[in-house]
Structure 1
Amino acid sequence: MHVSLAHAPRRLADGWQCVSTPAGACATPASLDTQTHWIDAPVPGTVASALRATGVKDEALAQPFAHADHWYRLKLSGHGKRRLRFNGLATITEVWLDDVKLLDSDSMFIAHDLDVELKGEHVLHLCFRSIAPALAAKRGRARWRPKLAQPATLRNVRTTLLGHMAGWCPTIQPAGPWRAVELIGEAQGCIESIEMRSRVEGNDGVLDVAVRFFHAQEAAPVRLECGEAHAVMQWQDAHTLTGRVQVPDVRLWYPHTHGEPFRYAVKLGDIALGEIGFRTVHVDRGADGQGFQPVVNGVPVFARGACWTSADIVALDAPHEKLEALFTLVRDAGLNMIRVSGITLYESDTFYELADRYGVLVWQDFAFANFDYPDDEAFHLSVQREARQFLARTRRFASLAVLCGGSEVHQQAAMLGLPFDAYQQRLFTEWLPEAIAAERPDVAYVVNSPSAAPGDTESMPFGTRGGITHYYGVPAYQRSFDDVRRAQVRFASECLAFANVPDDVALRALPNPRAHEPRWKAGVPRDPGSAWDFDDVREYYMQSLYRQDVPRLRYENPERYLELSRAVVADVIGAVFSEWRRQGSTCAGGIVWNLLDVRPGAGWGVIDVLGAPKSALHGLARVLQPVQALLLDEGLEGLDVHLVNETAHEIRGRVELACLREGSVKVAGGACDIVLPARSVQRISSNRLIGAFFDSAYAYRFGPRAHDVTHVVLRDAGTGETLSEAFHFPDPSIGERRDIGLKASVEKDGDGWSLVIETAQLARWVHIDDPDYRARIDWFHLAPGQPRRIPLVARHANVRAAPEGDVCAVNASRSAPYRAS
């Protein structure tokens, strides 16, 4: 809830202390008198975040906190009726006021309100009990036992799998008040709840609002405003106001790649209630019923993004500043969807508010993954409460576009050989859809990720040619790039997992940054029980694309090994998404696994633990912009240029193609003017642009290769501004380094520091190494004679030094040092 402080509940954030005890050691708060090791505890937070605040290092926090007891205490004072609101308690929890137990909770995903009468000074205690008894309880027999999370009886406990997946993330088990604790009712005008529900009717937007005050109010007329539109609210009783306002010719909310994520300010009298967006969402299944095309406001959207884990694996609740920095990176990279996976948890209101503001669609799994869940009435009631609370809390957010039953439940069962009927669970086919129909009928529902198309009982749930798939043919299964087209993916809700190497600044923070060393391997993810990890996946493509002897390179030239490790993931990611975005593709979206690292090292994340983008994110940015040129190798047909215009405006442009030898000598080329209608993709063959046959793909091989790169530029026909560019290398191997005439200089203006980079010959995978600054645009190709200005971003708020570092390219024999004067 985001209203003025005079009307909002008070967060009980300061003054908490916590202490840990063996399981069952203290039955009541009175038993804590002998405990002397209380420490200050941030709330919201966890036991792990409290220890971190005392100086304990993250690597020492990988402990089984969920198998001990932990007590939190806070002094409360006041007089009169109040309400205590607990927005998230992990996981088996007791709430005590003085020596009276007020609540038992068995789910970290359910919020609780407790009405109390304060009579002066009190002590509030929260006890987070060991989950061991719940794990041991008998609750039916599971039909399968997944390896992902241990023990298998975690299916019985409503807690996140984060911390319980060895090999995937640090084993920091959550325990504590991970969401805010609030006190309601201190002020006469305190608002206890706000409900806002928006919809589109014809050309108008309709907003329904219900506001409930904790104390009885004087029933005076109250004006409701939504932008310039307004209405008068009605008192339903002394506590409750309801009203509806209609916004004529409403401006719609779009994902940022397809329009403006416009929102209207909503006010209740002089009380700001936040902002609201109006949009419609549905899914186009295609003529065969097998597809999955998100459609927003009638506009088909190619959805691309990454899976979310946690911006703070220790506290589970990241501050606004950190989340906003991440959403800025997401938007700048051209991503328009984040999937919150079922192995994680339900994100904060701040997360959704930023998704609304930055125009990022959210695919939210319910917090279920892999398991055969209980089917009893107690579990049903718990799930219904969990789902309805989450949906009601997020009802006002336009960004929530897809709801999904959970992650890899169908896949897990099918891969173990179970037939279709055996892995259908009422949880996904009845209970969750019922909650969605009641609370968020405006959001699309997917039964599981992955899953076959609705009504398809014969295809595998992880099949690629229909429904939702997790596509890992490239890279995890080490298939050739041809597999991307052969697979005919319709929508990949997971894809492209690599052990992504962070930049040198992040590596220098590791105890030992040498690749393949045991401490390095601790940061490299692997699937449970597999004989390979995701370093091996990346190295396969280094060998096959760059023709490197990878083991020898790793020990003879580790710096070069790391540089090419970063380059190859950008190459592979670019190739896959270029295929999926081309004209005629069957694919309507791909979501990379994962957005964020959860520990230092070469993790799945395309953003490292310090919040800096890796080469993988820059590689995505190179092929995922709303206006985009792409180059596809069609073999004997040569190269095809695909031009994407996702904007609502027609583009009059000019396409220029040049084939270069030795990085600078033009041996073939051509250009043409083109009109790109709004929301369109067009294809032009390279031979048409050149005006004659030229073996641009080097498919005929009649003689020595005549060129080493093809460069395509899409320009604005009026201004000559570069809108997008693409490169194709008929031989993707890097070859020998040479002096390419790379130069860099530093400039400063009102926007801050920038680098101006130029090269005499083509520079492959240009990247910047600076201890205090990172490049806003990094890991890109640079054509000769076309200087590029790159803004620099300080790595920390307290950076005072001027930029000083090196501009490098993977095919350059020397870097270009720079230093601000």
Structure 2
Amino acid sequence: ACGLFYCCSMACAQSNDNSEVLTLHSGWEFSQVGTELWRTAEVPGTVHQDLIQHNLLPNPFYGTNEQKIQWVENEDWEYRTAFTVTAEQLKRDDARLTFEGLDTYADVYLNGALLLKADNMFVGYTIPVKEYLRPGENLLHIYFHSPIRQTLPQYASNGFNYPADNDHHEKHLSVFSRKAPYSYGWDWGIRMVTSGVWRPVTLRFYDAASISDYHVKQLSLTDRAAQLSNELEINNILSRPIQAEIKIQASLEGKQASAVSRTVTLQPGVNRIEIPTEILSPVRWMPNGWGTPALYDFSAQIVTEGNIVAEQSHRIGLRTVCLVNEKDADGESFYFEVNGVPMFAKGANYIPQDALLPNVTAERYRTLFRDIKEANMNVVRVWGGGVYEDDRFYDLADENGILVWQDFMFACTPYPSDPTFLKRVEQEACYNIRRLRNHPSLAMWCGNNEILEALKYWGYQKKYTPEIYQGMLAGYDKLFRELLPAKVKELDADRFYVHSSPYLANWGRPESWGIGDSHNWGVWYGQKPFESLDTDLPRFMSEFGFQSFPEMKTIAAFASPEDYQIESEVMNAHQKSSIGNHLIRTYMERDYIVPEKFEDFVYVGLVLQGQGIRHGLEAHRRNRPYCMGTLYWQLNDSWPVVSWSGIDYYGNWKALHYQAKRAFAPLHINPICQNDTLCVYLLSDCLDAMEKLTLEMKLTNFAGKKAGKTVVLPSLSLPANTSQCVYRTPLNALFSPAKHPLADDLRRCFMQLTLKDKSGRTVAETVHFFEKTKELLLPETNITCKMKQTDGRCELTLLSPALAKDLFIEVPLQGARFSDNFFDLLPGERKTVVITSPQIKKGEALPVRLRHIRQTYN
């Protein structure tokens, strides 16, 4: 069971109770132990941020500065502040000090008393402190032990080095600490092993009683009614029983949906109370693309002697979500069913947005979810090598209709399983399950990332003795088959738990594709062509990806022009995959003419990544219902780096994110050539069937002239939630008799496909090329560009007499948003693109550069 000491510190809405909260974020100082030099500090924050602020560390993201910051992890650090408490406040019945996040080994002292020895970054601590407080000034002091030196004795007595190869240190110490694994380095990550008060600190004064946990548990849901249980954990602070009225209210968009109250006797200490509620004609929470993610506002109040002494609020979505994981004729299914309807999962894997977590602002969270929603995603996976995210992350997932696949924080290596370690994990699981379980976006729990696959297929049997290897297997079962599922069953029984991702599959074993979720690294590490994604088909693709450099303005943020070479020291410092640059070039040679200039190589690499991953996304959607989900690796970056991301550290969309948006459109046309036959699929994630659709397929050459037959398919029907092949024809039947042989025709033209509804409105369109880009006879062309500019907005109108393939619009503003980018500008097409950024000013010229593939040939 989970003790109150690790109780949830829920982010509460504004309340009307008479508790009083002090936010302890000002007046902090820090010092390197042994120096007695105290400097101002930011809380929440990390020691790295404070050192940077005082110019005691260089910008860790620039050049090769990563090497210059490694000393910080080996030192102990102290933080201190003073705060004032009044005599009136001390008359309150209780006072509790809450740390929502201490990173990681921290001794907390208040007025000379040791309150806490923290040892887990992933839990919050709430401590009764009234007896330690005094009127006037109070001194809070935190001693952070080096996470490296703290765990060296464990390493020394362990007898072997764990295979945590992403830990960029000869001694793999990361496994011993419950601390964000990625901070020790990763194959896309800087090593920055942080310490500090990384989440808020508050002091709350209470009278009579407090709510330590409030869970709105959905018992049943029909169109007629939702049956709910309000499960409260209430702490009676007093030494005697007290009479209290508990009021539960629920509203939707300001209109009351339910209200109930109950009078109870609260015994001293912890009281667990359940109060049923019914909501008639419930409005369901729906995922992005299927409807509105309706959220009810629930509140629980405790009233004693006419005073509201405690209140807690949550936003609750009424919906059913289950993971259907059942044996069938093809193996074993793996898909989400939402409100009774199978849902094709479209999304990506998320890593922490910053190597320095307190840098992530509310605006960055909002922008991220805007990016997710605009790309037509409905699922995001919180990967197990980072952190359990901030409350704002899950709030935004709720509000935007994005389902969250939530890993526990274990990735890519076996972990210890001794009693002390298991106790820490139990506390962590309890804290985070309780913290997150009210969110309607939370779809499932997953024990770890790739650890079962590692144990089975990564060669540990040969690397370690039989005794050590068997100990790893036994430890896996203790952690992921026993402890974590037991905590999920105890605290969040209605949510699905799977012990590892991938569920079974190893990308080198085709027989595993039919079972559960898969990680396909045959593309990239296995050097398989992108076309292999058409046949290496899983039931659910939870990871696959391909790297690219970020665009030049991001490279310019960490490198100088003299570093603009693929294998320069600085570029290699920002390329953490040892084979990364080689693989980018290898794949580029297959599909593109490899440019000589560095800037052109970066641009073509972005196009390569976007087109390659789009090929996979379309293959997965095309093969539903056998395959029912695709989450590419990875959504975002934690620093400016060469990586698999679709959005770089500064919020710039790479070509990948634009291509994902296109491939994930609710209604999508997917043409593909199979054995010299053109097949055209219509893909729908819409809940309603569509009738009387018209599909037009027009062949045009690169100069804009008709190149063959125009095919029109009228009166098409498209069932809801399906993939359907609506057209097949041999390639040679498409072209009119011409001067050129078929192969030459294929190099000179494209097909424009347009789908219209019964009213004539275009509902989907795409462009298809019949050859790899390097085989196309792309024309030189001059693009005209007209600009209209106001504060925050620039409108471009583009026109080209001939095809401009994969047109990239560049502006030197980090995070600028484009209504479209990395698109084919078709001959004679007048295309409007809107660029938005707070940095755009009316009357100030915005430098715009247009780049397309043919220009890289010169």
| In 2: Cα distance, 1:536 partner to 1:146 partner | 24
Q: Give 1:602 deviation, angstroms.
A: 2.4
State the secondary structure of the residue aligned to 1:733.
helix
Residue of structure 1 in register with 2:60 after alignment: 58
Q: 1:634-649 maps to which residues of 2 (within 5 A)?
A: 634-636=674-676, 638-649=677-688
Q: Give 1:329 deviation, angstroms.
A: 0.8
Residue of structure 1 in register with 2:108 after alignment: 95
State the secondary structure of the residue aligned to 1:63.
helix
Residue of structure 1 in register with 2:257 after alignment: 229
Residue of structure 2 in register with 1:205 after alignment: 226
Residue of structure 2 in register with 1:441 after alignment: 493
- Specify whether residues 795 and 508 from structure 1 end up closer, same or farther in structure 2 by C-alpha distance, changes over 3 A only: farther
* Paired amino acid for 1:208: S
Residue of structure 1 in register with 2:697 after alignment: 657
| In 1: Cα distance, 2:795 partner to 2:381 partner | 33
Retained in 2: the 8 A contact 1:163–1:174?
yes
Stretch of structure 1 that moved more, 719-728 or 385-394: 719-728
| In 1: Cα distance, 2:719 partner to 2:389 partner | 38
Residue of structure 2 in register with 1:40 after alignment: 40
Residue of structure 2 in register with 1:291 after alignment: 333
| In 2: Cα distance, 1:143 partner to 1:134 partner | 13
State the secondary structure of the residue aligned to 2:142.
strand
- Specify whether residues 407 and 564 from structure 1 end up closer, same or farther in structure 2 by C-alpha distance, changes over 3 A only: same
Higher helix share: 2
Residue of structure 2 in register with 1:245 after alignment: 277
State the secondary structure of the residue aligned to 2:283.
coil
- In the alignment, does 2:607 pair up with 1:567? yes
1:388 aligned residue (405, 427, 430) = 430
Residue of structure 1 in register with 2:32 after alignment: 20
| In 2: Cα distance, 1:196 partner to 1:797 partner | 45
Q: Give 1:488 deviation, angstroms.
A: 2.2
- In the alignment, does 2:659 pair up with 1:608? no
State the secondary structure of the residue aligned to 1:788.
strand
Stretch of structure 1 that moved more, 804-813 or 662-671: 804-813
Residue of structure 2 in register with 1:512 after alignment: 560
Identical positions, percent: 23
Q: Deviation per CA, 1:320-339, whole angstroms, max 9, x where unpaired?
A: 11111011111111222222
* Paired amino acid for 2:79: Y
State the secondary structure of the residue aligned to 1:387.
helix
Q: Give 1:172 deviation, angstroms.
A: 0.8
Q: 1:222-621 maps to which residues of 2 (within 5 A)?
A: 222-227=247-252, 228-237=256-265, 243-268=275-300, 273-285=313-325, 287-288=328-329, 289-316=331-358, 318-414=360-456, 415-416=458-459, 418=461, 423=473, 424-452=476-504, 463-498=512-547, 500-512=548-560, 514-516=564-566, 517-526=568-577, 530=578, 532=579, 534-546=580-592, 548=593, 550=594, 553-554=595-596, 557-583=597-623, 586-621=626-661
Residue of structure 1 in register with 2:128 after alignment: 115
| In 2: Cα distance, 1:106 partner to 1:337 partner | 32
- Specify whether residues 237 and 95 from structure 1 end up closer, same or farther in structure 2 by C-alpha distance, changes over 3 A only: farther
Q: Give 1:234 deviation, angstroms.
A: 2.3
Retained in 2: the 8 A contact 1:768–1:807?
yes
| In 2: Cα distance, 1:461 partner to 1:409 partner | 19
Gaps of 5+ in 2: 1-10, 302-307
| In 2: Cα distance, 1:75 partner to 1:115 partner | 18
Q: Deviation per CA, 1:430-467, whole angstroms, max 9, x where unpaired?
A: 110001111222322221122317xx9x9979943422
Residue of structure 2 in register with 1:669 after alignment: 710
Residue of structure 1 in register with 2:5 after alignment: none
Residue of structure 2 in register with 1:31 after alignment: none
| In 2: Cα distance, 1:427 partner to 1:461 partner | 28
* Paired amino acid for 1:219: A
* Paired amino acid for 1:128: F
* TM-score, with structure 1 as normaliser: 0.87
- Specify whether residues 166 and 474 from structure 1 end up closer, same or farther in structure 2 by C-alpha distance, changes over 3 A only: closer
- In the alignment, does 2:163 pair up with 1:124? no
* Paired amino acid for 2:516: G
Residue of structure 2 in register with 1:156 after alignment: 176
| In 2: Cα distance, 1:612 partner to 1:459 partner | 34
Q: Give 1:476 deviation, angstroms.
A: 3.2
* Paired amino acid for 2:551: D
Q: Give 1:746 deviation, angstroms.
A: 3.0
1:3 aligned residue (3, 13, 36) = 13
| In 1: Cα distance, 2:356 partner to 2:840 partner | 22
Retained in 1: the 8 A contact 2:211–2:312?
no
Stretch of structure 1 that moved more, 793-802 or 434-443: 793-802
Q: Deviation per CA, 1:596-625, whole angstroms, max 9, x where unpaired?
A: 222224233221121111122112112111
| In 1: Cα distance, 2:361 partner to 2:776 partner | 45
Q: Give 1:393 deviation, angstroms.
A: 0.3
| RMSD between aligned residues | 3.4
* TM-score, with structure 2 as normaliser: 0.84
| In 1: Cα distance, 2:807 partner to 2:662 partner | 12
2:151 aligned residue (120, 134, 147) = 134
Q: Deviation per CA, 1:549-580, whole angstroms, max 9, x where unpaired?
A: x4xx33xx333222212211111111111111
Q: Deviation per CA, 1:15-72, whole angstroms, max 9, x where unpaired?
A: 2211122xxx5xxxxxxxxx54222222222111222333542345742544321111
* Paired amino acid for 2:84: S
State the secondary structure of the residue aligned to 2:482.
helix
- Specify whether residues 221 and 305 from structure 1 end up closer, same or farther in structure 2 by C-alpha distance, changes over 3 A only: closer
* Paired amino acid for 1:182: T
Q: Deviation per CA, 1:317-376, whole angstroms, max 9, x where unpaired?
A: 622111110111111112222222221111111111011111112111111123332333
State the secondary structure of the residue aligned to 1:363.
strand
State the secondary structure of the residue aligned to 2:619.
helix
- Specify whether residues 125 and 143 from structure 1 end up closer, same or farther in structure 2 by C-alpha distance, changes over 3 A only: closer
Gaps of 5+ in 1: 26-34, 816-821
Residue of structure 2 in register with 1:777 after alignment: 820
Q: Deviation per CA, 1:665-718, whole angstroms, max 9, x where unpaired?
A: 222221223232322222122439x9x92279x9x9766335521221222331
Q: How many residues align?
A: 783
2:190 aligned residue (170, 181, 184) = 170
- Specify whether residues 724 and 186 from structure 1 end up closer, same or farther in structure 2 by C-alpha distance, changes over 3 A only: farther
* Paired amino acid for 1:443: R
* Paired amino acid for 2:492: R
State the secondary structure of the residue aligned to 1:628.
strand
Residue of structure 1 in register with 2:305 after alignment: none
| In 1: Cα distance, 2:621 partner to 2:713 partner | 22
Retained in 1: the 8 A contact 2:188–2:642?
no
Retained in 2: the 8 A contact 1:735–1:811?
no
* Paired amino acid for 1:471: N
Stretch of structure 1 that moved more, 397-406 or 716-725: 716-725
